[in-house]
């Protein structure tokens, strides 16, 4: 259980940082929020991958990580849009 939580935090941090690098332009929000977006995307991606049956494969779960990254990119875009609405 503890190992799963630690792994979600580490993978979430990596996924969130990669998503932030992929999204073009400047994002005006904290790295803490990036971590939260990454962790949420990692958890939701794992749930979807489990439901579709490709979460636990031999070796690295590439499709699961690609799904997590795509969800994190969507999360970063959502946060950027929400921030843009506040400043208008």
Half-sphere exposure of 1 (CA within 13 A, CB side): 0
**What confidence category does residue 58 fall into, taking pLDDT thresholds of 50, 70 and 90?**
confident
pLDDT (tens digit, 9 = 90+) per residue, 25-47? 888 888 889 899 999 998 898 88
What are the backbone angles phi and psi of residue 57, rounded to the nearest 5°? Answer: -120, 170
Question: What pTM did the predictor assign?
Answer: 0.84
Q: Which token pair is 48? A: 């979807």
**What confidence category does residue 88 fall into, taking pLDDT thresholds of 50, 70 and 90?**
low
């Amino acid at each position: 259980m503890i190992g799963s939580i630690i792994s979600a935090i580490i993978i979430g941090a990596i996924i969130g940082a990669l998503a932030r690098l992929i999204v073009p332009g400047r994002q005006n929000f904290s790295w803490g929020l990036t971590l939260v977006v990454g962790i949420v995307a990692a958890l939701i991606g794992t749930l979807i991958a489990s439901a579709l049956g490709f979460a636990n494969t031999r070796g690295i779960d590439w499709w699961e990580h690609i799904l997590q990254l795509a969800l994190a990119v969507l999360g970063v875009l959502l946060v950027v849009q929400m921030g843009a609405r506040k400043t208008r």
